Amino acid sequence: MSAIRLATGPVTWGVDFADAPGNPPWEHVLDEIATSGVGALELGPIGYLPEDPTSVCEALASRGLTAVGSFVFDDFHDPSRGSELAVATERAARAIAAAGGAVLLLIDRPAPERAATAGRSLDARRLDAREWTAMIDSIRRCAAIAEGHGLRPAFHPHAGSYVEYEDEIERLLDDSDLALCLDTGHAAYAGIEAERALVAYGPRLAHVHLKDVRPDIVEQGLGFWAALAAGVFCPLGEGVVDLPAVLAALDDVGYEGHATIEQDRVPGSGSPLDDLAASVKVLAAAGLAGVAP
């Protein structure tokens, strides 16, 4: 497991959207990431950090931080948003490449219909064949943009989205050559054992998010955004994810790369730096090489 390097990102400070009210200043987030000792980060939503290449590189270098990549979190399920998705992906890809990152994650944003059934597979409507094909085509187009900037694109299944449950992940892998970012918390939210999924999808694995969820909140059947506000995501080791099994699975599949510690939250809630420190401590106790206890 010595090949796994830790990262984090603004998401742990509640920054899912660049223009969300209550987002902490980006300088504060970078300062706290530097304080944490986790020296690598995903850059967060495009527009949160400065997009000027010189500015963002100086901001990272002055704090001893390196970039891993970032994400586009948008409505890939909506065929009318093709041009907006392309613009957002182009901006994100340019920013990642300028900062020295390598990975661009593509994430379908929870629509009201599916956000309402997050974690409840039997209640969740699946996309029909036409809708599914349109979404896959949108993802492929954005993946090609990322590749054009020398980045590795990967799709991130997400609670409350149209690619959440095991049958949907397998459908996506069967119908495309897309690589995968497996998020242990979102997998658990969907009722998937993360360690089993990592082994099953190992050949397509491009990136990993380490995250944990509180089963008591998942079991309440709240919509995704309400569950987020209720604190469904927690520091590693405090929820349902079997972290030693996850690390063993990553070792089994020979994963080499970054593993990003994330804890989705409402901006301004909790203590992100303390929670990140708790997660790192748990990883050290679980035997992740190179992490001080």
Give how many domains the chain has, as a whole number: 1
Asked whether residue 293 is domain-assigned, the answer is no
Asked whether residue 16 is domain-assigned, the answer is yes
| Per-position pLDDT tens, the chain of length 293 | 457 999 999 999 999 999 999 999 999 999 999 999 999 999 999 999 999 999 999 999 999 999 999 999 999 999 999 999 999 999 999 999 999 999 999 999 999 999 999 999 999 999 999 999 999 999 999 999 999 999 999 999 999 999 999 999 999 999 999 999 999 999 999 999 999 999 999 999 999 999 999 999 999 999 999 999 999 999 999 999 999 999 999 999 999 999 999 999 999 999 999 999 999 999 999 888 666 43
Asked whether residue 99 is domain-assigned, the answer is yes
Hey, how many other C-beta atoms are within 10 angstroms of the C-beta on 128?
8
pLDDT of amino acid 11: 98
pLDDT of amino acid 257: 93
Asked whether residue 65 is domain-assigned, the answer is yes
Main-chain dihedrals φ then ψ at residue 92, nearest 5 degrees: -65, -40
Asked whether residue 290 is domain-assigned, the answer is no
Residues in the chain: 293
Amino acid found at 131:
E
CATH assignment of the domain containing 85: 3.20.20.150
Task: For residue 82, give its domain range.
Answer: 4-285
Asked whether residue 292 is domain-assigned, the answer is no
The pTM assigned to this predicted structure is 0.96
The two structure tokens encoding residue 245: 């099994």
pLDDT of amino acid 289: 64
Contacts of 204 (CB under 8 A, 6+ apart): 173, 178, 179, 180
Q: Determine contact, residues 182/154, Cβ cutoff 8 Å.
A: no
Hey, how many other C-beta atoms are within 10 angstroms of the C-beta on 120?
14
pLDDT of amino acid 219: 96
Task: Give the C-alpha separation, 291 to 25, whole Å.
Answer: 28
What SS3 class is residue 103?
A: strand
pLDDT of amino acid 293: 39
Distance between start and end Cα atoms, the chain: 15
Asked whether residue 70 is domain-assigned, the answer is yes
Asked whether residue 66 is domain-assigned, the answer is yes
